[in-house]
Structure 1
Amino acid sequence: MGKFIFTVQGEGRGHLTQAISLSQIAQEAGHEVIGYAVGSTNNRKIPSFFTDYIGDKPLLQYDSPSLCYGNGKAVKVGKTALQVISKFKTYWKSASELGKFIEQNKPDGIINFYESITGLHQWRTGATIPCISIGHQYLLLNKHFQTIPEKKLDQFFLNLNTQITAIGSKKKLGLSFLPLENDTQRNIDVIPPLLRKEVKELKAISGKNWLAYLTHFRLAEDIMAWSKLNPDIQLDCFWDHPIRKEIYHYSDNLTFHPINAELYLEKMSHCAGLISTAGFESIAEAMYLAKPTMMVPVPNHIEQMINAFDASQSGAGLAANSFDLTLFKDYQKEHQTDYSTYQQWIQESSRLMDMHLRELIQPNPKKKSSWNSLFAKRIHWTFPKNNGGLSFPKA
């Protein structure tokens, strides 16, 4: 059995909940997670549902790239890309901090939940510790995956970032709503969504209230406006608001809640449907509980656009361009999906992940590939104090 460190992208709740799910699977299979490293921006607080779960296990938090929203609701693609250049020195320091954390805890392997600093660390150190990268984003690199036809440039940059996160990984595991053929040429295996046992243990009840989950608080403005015109629909909305940290009763039929994993799952199990910004994890949980979903990607968020397309093709619900919830109201009257295939696919996650964890830490007798040979020697690059530029070692 192996000892692992999990490195997790801390933006939103998706990758954090996936890390919890795999922690549960690993523990049941006899493995041990000995530490967690979470990347976030501007020292953003790690949600309590995650810190409460890991308890007193070693935890490292460091600066990591994230999406930039500017002053509006849309993702700023250019600003997001430029931060990697403008803050590279900070991210190099984060990779160094992660390296020290790994050296102190001495894991057998690293499990990376789409954390870009992990790729930088693996490049910096020569990938001396075996690593697997997990996320729905890796499925997008699978040649068998069907994506949207538009925004090819945005898709290129998304896939480039995905490749960076997986530098030095022995394998990439693409989370998929439904079974799909592995891409052996690109070393991508397809696995089911990683759902926490708390989700699997829920008993779904057909309720009347609608549930909403927003990855950015500014998107709530559209839901507020719609709720005023439709007082007959009761809405519970979860958000991560920078100021409103308590329950906020906006009106008689709309209540906002701070992120709370248990309460969110409780309300999902009793809701009539989910309104989501097309985050993978929320859709996966709703499908397991047989709840129809309305997916409204954040403007310019290419990953969520692809998620919404993929999920609608998989029978999750309705993909839309705006929070015109009247569309969802009409859709629920005709929504019919058999979720049994999806629920059976979810049951395969424990077996497949145990297999991948075991394979990761097994000695590889095969000859190293030319790609791996790039990491044969540790790279000793430092930032001099005088000018902040890169200093290369002498030959």
Structure 2
Amino acid sequence: MKIFYGVQGTGNGHITRARVMAKELHAAGIDVHFQFTGRPSDKYFDMEVFNGYEARTGLTFHTEKGQVSYLKTALDAKPITFIKDMKSLDLSGYDLVISDFEPITAWAAKSRKIPVLGIGHQYAFNYKIPREGSDPIADQVIKYFAPADVGVGLHWHHFGQPILPPIIDTPATPQNVINNKIIVYLPFEDQNEVIRLLSPFENFDFHIYSPEPVPSTFSHIACNPLSRDGFQKDLYDCVGIISNAGFELASESLQMGKKILAKPLHAQMEQISNAAALKQLGYGHVMHDMDSSIIEHWLHDDRAVHVTYPNIAKILVQWIQNGMPEMDGDFIEAVWSDVEVLQVKL
């Protein structure tokens, strides 16, 4: 089997999910070629698992001070480049096209009448799940940004819908946790403001990761460039994480039993909905603006939730190899029966 796999590269969550899928696809002996769009080609890192890949411009969202700007997103879009990339994409000889909310791959396949399998969190919004911050623009983005003929939606809970758990690595539960170690990943916020808000909490050690780290003058605040290995090492033994409300990082944190404080991007329906789901499920805390009092309350909270998810990537690869039969109620129920949720005292 030969698969062309397009991945939205704007945030690291899509790439993280693709890394897990790549490992299982390669293990199954499937020939897969990856394409990433949404960021400059020199901004990708730790990409060895893909065994080579294409990088194109694609479409991305413009963010400023923790908020999505649809006007600047439209102004930054390069429709001529997008159409040229879409028309020049060679999909001949592939048995299946997969899109993780990646528009060039999805639209190129659609224009050639090639069926597209969509895998990702965004496809869960085709069903009745927690949804807040929606507006006509957001609805159209979800529907038309990267359309798929078959969409496999992913979420932390099924909400009574035919969706699957997250696609994440399933590492062993950390045995040694440092109770004052906090990971901070707020790449769309002003990093100087982040440091200023965290500086009074001297009893905690903060490890900030960002695409463009700024110097820290505080001994309890370390600022690091993005690194998959470095981030995973710090995430493994930290007690909690402060981040935007992206899906994949929260999924990894739940899998390892970390407490979560999520700050969703303003005007970003997916992140606002993710924050609502975390709060509804009791899986994490939420702050809609950078708020030192909320941060302080969360830092002293000694509770977390540990959710054990099965290897969804392996399940999906087997499903693809079996011809992608309809995911009926028995299939969905069997997958979710292997999910375990535990309340943890830190």
TM-score (norm 1): 0.75
**2:60: which partner in 1?**
66
Which of residues 47, 60, 71 is equivalent to 1:78?
Answer: 71
Gaps of 5+ in 1: 183-188, 363-395
Cα distance in structure 2, aligned partners of 1:38 and 1:330: 39
170 and 69 in structure 1: CA distance in 2 versus 1, 3 angstrom threshold? closer
Aligned match of 1:173: 152
Q: Give the counterpart letter for 1:171 in structure 2.
A: V
Determine whether 1:213 maps to 2:197.
no
Paired residue type of 2:250: I
Which residue pairs with 1:357 in the alignment? 320
Cα distance in 1, alignment partners of residues 63 and 15 from structure 2? 21
Compared CA separation, residues 281 and 338, structure 1 to 2 (3 A): closer
1:38 maps onto 2:33 in alignment: no
State the alpha-carbon separation in 2 of the partners of residues 171 and 334 from structure 1: 41
- Cα drift, residue 317 of structure 1: 1.1
TM-score (norm 2): 0.85
Q: 2:248 maps to what in 1?
A: 281
Matching of residue 299 in structure 1 with residue 299 in structure 2: no
Answer yes or no: is the 8 Å Cα contact 2:169–2:311 preserved in 1: no
Q: Residues 67-216 of structure 1: matches in 2 within 5 Å?
A: 67-69=61-63, 72-84=65-77, 87-97=78-88, 99-100=89-90, 102-103=91-92, 106-127=93-114, 130-142=115-127, 144-148=128-132, 151-153=133-135, 156-167=136-147, 169-182=148-161, 189-197=162-170, 200-201=171-172, 203-207=174-178, 208-216=180-188
Label 1:39 to 1:281 Cα distance change in 2 as closer, same or farther (>3 A): same
Following superposition, the deviation at residue 152 of structure 1 comes to 3.4
Question: Where does residue 331 of structure 2 map in the other structure?
Answer: none
**Contact 1:170–1:360 (CA under 8 A) maintained in structure 2:** no
Please give the alpha-carbon distance, in whole angstroms, between the structure 1 residues aligned to 2:102 and 2:304: 34
Between the aligned partners of 2:43 and 2:265, the Cα distance in structure 1 is: 22
Corresponding residue number in structure 1 for 2:45: 48
Compute the displacement of 1:360 (Å): 4.9
Moved more, 315-324 or 265-274: 315-324
Cα drift, residue 325 of structure 1 = 4.2
Question: 1:209 and 1:338, CA in 2 relative to 1: closer, same or farther beyond 3 A?
Answer: closer
Structure 2 counterparts to residues 187-336 of structure 1, below 5 A? 189-197=162-170, 200-201=171-172, 203-207=174-178, 208-216=180-188, 218-241=189-212, 244=213, 248-334=215-301, 336=303
Residue in 2 aligned with 1:376? none
1:12 aligns with 2:11: yes
For structure 2, which runs of at least 5 residues remain unmatched after alignment? 326-346
Q: State, as a whole percentage, how many aligned pairs show the same letter.
A: 17
Q: Deviations over 1:199-234 (max 9, x none)?
A: x24625321211111232x43233211233222221
Aligned partners of 2:152 and 2:43: how far apart in 1? 25
Q: CA deviation at 1:65?
A: 1.0
Q: How many residues align?
A: 324
Aligned Cα RMSD in Å?
Answer: 2.4
- Structure 1 residues 111 and 360, CA gap change in structure 2 (3 angstroms): farther
Kindly provide the amino acid, as one letter, of the partner of residue 48 in structure 1: F
Distance in 1, matches of 2:323 and 2:192, equals 46
User: Which has the greater radius of gyration?
Assistant: 1
Q: Which protein has the bigger strand share?
A: 2
